[in-house]
Structure 1
Amino acid sequence: MEKLVNISYNQTGASTNVDAMGMREMQRMVYEQRNRKYLLVKAPPASGKSRALMFVALDKLANQGIRKVIVAVPEKSIGRSFRSTELKRYGFFDDWQVSDYFNLCSGSDDSRKSARFKEFLRSSPNRILVCTHATLRNALKEVRDEELNDCFFGIDEFHHGSADAYNDLGELIRRLITSTSAHIMAMTGSYFRGDQMPILRPEDEQLFMPSVNYDYYRQLNGYKYLKSLGLGYQFYTGKFITAIPEALDTTKKTLIHIPPVQGRESYAKKYDIVADIIAEIGEVVDEDAEHFIKIVRTPDGRLLKVGDLVEDNVAQRAALQSYLQRMDRKDALDILIALGTAKEGFDWQWCEVCLTIGMRASMTEVVQIIGRCTRDCEGKTHAQFINLVPCPDAAQEEVSVAVNNMLKAIAVSLLMEQVMAPKWDFRTKRDDDEEVVDRKNRVLHVKGLAEPTERAKAIIENDITELKATVLSSDILKQAMANDAIAEVITQSLIPKVIQEKYPTLTEQEVECVRQQLVLSIATQGAEVTVDEHGREFINIANKFCDKGVELSKLSINLIDSINPFQRAYEIMAKSLTPEVLRAIQFSIEEQRSDMSIEEAVLLLKNYLPKYKEEHHGAIPTLSDTEPLAKRIALAIDFVAKKKREYLQTGKL
Structure 2
Amino acid sequence: MNKLLNVVDVTYAQTGASVNTDALGMREMQQRVFAQRDAQHLLVKAPPASGKSRALMFVALDKLYNQGRQKVIVAVPERSIGASFSATSLTKFGFFADWEVKPEHNLCDPGSSQGKVGAFIDFLNGPGAVLICTHATLRFAFEKLAPEAFDGTVLAIDEFHHVSADVEANRLGALLREVMNGSDAHIVAMTGSYFRGDSVPVLSAEDEARFTPVTFNYYDQLNGYEHLKSLGIGHHFYQGRYTDAIGEVFDLGKKTIIHIPNVNSGESTKDKIEEVGFIIDSIGHVESTDPETGIISIRRADNGAIVRVADLVDDTDQKKRADTLHYLSTFASKDRDGVDVILALGMAKEGFDWPFAEHALTVGYRASLTEVIQIIGRVTRDSPGKAHAQFTNLIAEPDASQGEVKVSVNNMLKAITASLLMEQVLAQNFTFKTKRTGDDDGPKAPGVIKIKGFKEPSSDRVKQIVETDLNDLKATILQDDTFARAAAGSVDPETTNKVLIPKIIRERYPDLDESQVEEVRQQVVVDSVIKNGEVREVGDKRFIKMAEKFVNIDDININLIDSVNPFQRAFEVMSKSVTPSVLRIISDAITATRVEFTDEEAFALFPKIQVWAKVNGRKPNVRSEDPTEKRYAEALLYLQKRKQQHLADQRAAQMADEA
TM-score tier, shorter chain, comes to over 0.9
1:470 to 476, 492, 497: 476
Match of 1:571 in 2: 572
Deviations, residues 502-552 of structure 1 (Å, cap 9, x unaligned):
11221000110011010101111144655545x5x23313x4x243x2223
Report the alpha carbon displacement of residue 249 of structure 1 after superposing the two structures with TM: 0.8
1:415 to 405, 421, 424: 421
Moved more, 621-630 or 376-385: 621-630
Kindly indicate whether the alpha-carbon contact (under 8 Å) linking 2:106 and 2:132 is maintained by their aligned counterparts in 1: yes
Helix, strand or coil at the partner of 1:141: helix
Match of 2:277 in 1: 275
Match of 2:138 in 1: 136
Classify 1:437/1:497 alpha carbon distance in 2 versus 1 (closer, same or farther; 3 Å).
Answer: farther
Match of 2:227 in 1: 225
Kindly indicate whether the alpha-carbon contact (under 8 Å) linking 1:356 and 1:387 is maintained by their aligned counterparts in 2: yes
Report the alpha carbon displacement of residue 600 of structure 1 after superposing the two structures with TM: 1.8
Match of 2:181 in 1: 178
Correspondence list, 1:130-529, <5 A: 130-166=132-168, 167-193=170-196, 195-209=198-212, 211-299=213-301, 300-312=303-315, 313-327=317-331, 328-434=334-440, 438=444, 440=446, 442-452=447-457, 453-474=459-480, 475-483=482-490, 486-527=492-533
Moved more, 338-347 or 105-114: 105-114
State the one-letter code of the partner of 1:359: Y
Kindly indicate whether the alpha-carbon contact (under 8 Å) linking 2:89 and 2:99 is maintained by their aligned counterparts in 1: yes
Match of 1:588 in 2: 589
In the alignment, the residues of structure 2 paired with residue 531 and residue 469 of structure 1 have an alpha-carbon distance, to the nearest angstrom, of 30
State the one-letter code of the partner of 1:419: V
Classify 1:352/1:401 alpha carbon distance in 2 versus 1 (closer, same or farther; 3 Å).
Answer: same
Deviations, residues 560-585 of structure 1 (Å, cap 9, x unaligned):
01122222111101111111111111
In the alignment, the residues of structure 1 paired with residue 442 and residue 400 of structure 2 have an alpha-carbon distance, to the nearest angstrom, of 48
Kindly indicate whether the alpha-carbon contact (under 8 Å) linking 1:225 and 1:377 is maintained by their aligned counterparts in 2: yes
In the alignment, the residues of structure 2 paired with residue 443 and residue 528 of structure 1 have an alpha-carbon distance, to the nearest angstrom, of 17
Match of 1:632 in 2: 631
Classify 1:437/1:180 alpha carbon distance in 2 versus 1 (closer, same or farther; 3 Å).
Answer: farther
Match of 2:656 in 1: none
In the alignment, the residues of structure 1 paired with residue 559 and residue 601 of structure 2 have an alpha-carbon distance, to the nearest angstrom, of 17
In the alignment, the residues of structure 2 paired with residue 208 and residue 164 of structure 1 have an alpha-carbon distance, to the nearest angstrom, of 19
Helix, strand or coil at the partner of 2:469: helix
Match of 2:657 in 1: none
Helix, strand or coil at the partner of 2:342: strand
Moved more, 22-31 or 460-469: 460-469
State the one-letter code of the partner of 2:589: S
Kindly indicate whether the alpha-carbon contact (under 8 Å) linking 1:482 and 1:590 is maintained by their aligned counterparts in 2: no
In the alignment, the residues of structure 1 paired with residue 456 and residue 358 of structure 2 have an alpha-carbon distance, to the nearest angstrom, of 43
In the alignment, the residues of structure 1 paired with residue 98 and residue 544 of structure 2 have an alpha-carbon distance, to the nearest angstrom, of 51
Kindly indicate whether the alpha-carbon contact (under 8 Å) linking 2:433 and 2:451 is maintained by their aligned counterparts in 1: yes
2:73 matches 1:74: no
State the one-letter code of the partner of 2:5: E
Length-normalised TM-score, structure 2: 0.95
Classify 1:455/1:286 alpha carbon distance in 2 versus 1 (closer, same or farther; 3 Å).
Answer: same
In the alignment, the residues of structure 2 paired with residue 436 and residue 523 of structure 1 have an alpha-carbon distance, to the nearest angstrom, of 26
Classify 1:438/1:468 alpha carbon distance in 2 versus 1 (closer, same or farther; 3 Å).
Answer: farther
In the alignment, the residues of structure 2 paired with residue 437 and residue 298 of structure 1 have an alpha-carbon distance, to the nearest angstrom, of 59
In the alignment, the residues of structure 1 paired with residue 114 and residue 6 of structure 2 have an alpha-carbon distance, to the nearest angstrom, of 49
Helix, strand or coil at the partner of 1:404: helix
State the one-letter code of the partner of 2:130: I
Helix, strand or coil at the partner of 2:362: strand
In the alignment, the residues of structure 1 paired with residue 178 and residue 525 of structure 2 have an alpha-carbon distance, to the nearest angstrom, of 36
Match of 2:47 in 1: 44
Report the alpha carbon displacement of residue 396 of structure 1 after superposing the two structures with TM: 2.0
In the alignment, the residues of structure 1 paired with residue 181 and residue 468 of structure 2 have an alpha-carbon distance, to the nearest angstrom, of 24
Deviations, residues 386-427 of structure 1 (Å, cap 9, x unaligned):
111111113323211111111111121111111111122111
Length-normalised TM-score, structure 1: 0.95
Structure 2: tracts of 5 or more residues without a match: 654-659
State the one-letter code of the partner of 1:317: R
In the alignment, the residues of structure 2 paired with residue 191 and residue 226 of structure 1 have an alpha-carbon distance, to the nearest angstrom, of 21
In the alignment, the residues of structure 2 paired with residue 629 and residue 576 of structure 1 have an alpha-carbon distance, to the nearest angstrom, of 25
Classify 1:559/1:309 alpha carbon distance in 2 versus 1 (closer, same or farther; 3 Å).
Answer: same
State the one-letter code of the partner of 1:67: Q
Classify 1:271/1:638 alpha carbon distance in 2 versus 1 (closer, same or farther; 3 Å).
Answer: same
Helix, strand or coil at the partner of 1:517: helix
Structure 1: tracts of 5 or more residues without a match: none
Deviations, residues 218-249 of structure 1 (Å, cap 9, x unaligned):
10111111111111111111110111221111
2:28 matches 1:25: yes
Alpha carbon RMSD of aligned pairs, Å? 1.7
2:563 matches 1:557: no
Classify 1:439/1:348 alpha carbon distance in 2 versus 1 (closer, same or farther; 3 Å).
Answer: farther
Moved more, 167-176 or 315-324: 167-176
In the alignment, the residues of structure 1 paired with residue 76 and residue 113 of structure 2 have an alpha-carbon distance, to the nearest angstrom, of 15
Deviations, residues 343-367 of structure 1 (Å, cap 9, x unaligned):
0100001111111111101000000
In the alignment, the residues of structure 2 paired with residue 614 and residue 111 of structure 1 have an alpha-carbon distance, to the nearest angstrom, of 71
- Work out the number of aligned pairs and report it: 642
